[in-house]
Amino acid sequence: SGRYLRSRHAVHEQIQHRVKDAFCKLCCRRFISNEDLETHNRVVHTEEKSFKCDECGRRFKFFKCLRRHEKSHSKDAIMRTCRTCQKMFRDKHELECHLRRHTEERPFQCKHCNQSFTRLSSVRKHERRKHVS
C-alpha cells in the first residue's frame, strides 16, 4: 500500500541520509552521533587504554581485546610455541602477530605513505603521529 511505501521510504531516508552533525576537529571527518565521534577519537586519535586485566594489569583499548586476553590466563589455555624461536604464547592472535616478525610480513600499510606494519594498531599509531595535523 501507499502508506507502507511512504514509511519504508522515511526509514530509508533516516538511515541513509542522516545529517552528520558531529565533527572531528583533528581530521575533519563527520559523524552521525557524538557517540560515533567519541569512538572515533578513542580509536584513531588517542592511545588511551581504558580496559585493564585484573590478573596482570595489561591494558587494552577495546573491551573485546581484554576479553580475548583474559582467556590466556585460564588454566585451560593452550600454550602455542613459535617454531622459529620457541617463544611460548597462550593467545593465538599474539602468536600470529609474533610470527610476522620472523617472516617480515607487513600486511598493514599506511594510506598516506608506503610504510607498512605487522599490526593494525601500529599503522594506526603511525598515521596518528605522522599524518594527522
Averaged pLDDT of the chain: 82
For 42-77, how does the pLDDT look when each residue is reduced to its tens digit (9 = 90+)?
A: 777 777 888 999 999 999 888 888 998 888 888 888
Full residue range of the structural domain in which residue 73 is found: 47-77
83 lies in some domain: no
For 101-120, how does the pLDDT look when each residue is reduced to its tens digit (9 = 90+)?
A: 899 899 999 999 989 998 88
CATH classification at residue 65: 3.30.160
CB 41 within 8 A of CB 27: no
85 lies in some domain: no
Both 126 and 101 in a single domain?
yes
Residue 5 confidence (pLDDT): 62
Residue 46 confidence (pLDDT): 77
Helices (H), 41-119: 63-71, 92-103
Q: Is a pLDDT exceeding 80 seen at residue 9? A: no
Tell me the percentage of the chain whose pLDDT exceeds 90: 21
- Which residues share a beta bridge with 60? 51
Number of domains present in the structure of the chain: 3
59 lies in some domain: yes
82 lies in some domain: no
Both 71 and 59 in a single domain?
yes
27 lies in some domain: yes
Indicate whether this model's pTM tops 0.85: no
Residue 52 confidence (pLDDT): 94
Both 37 and 56 in a single domain?
no
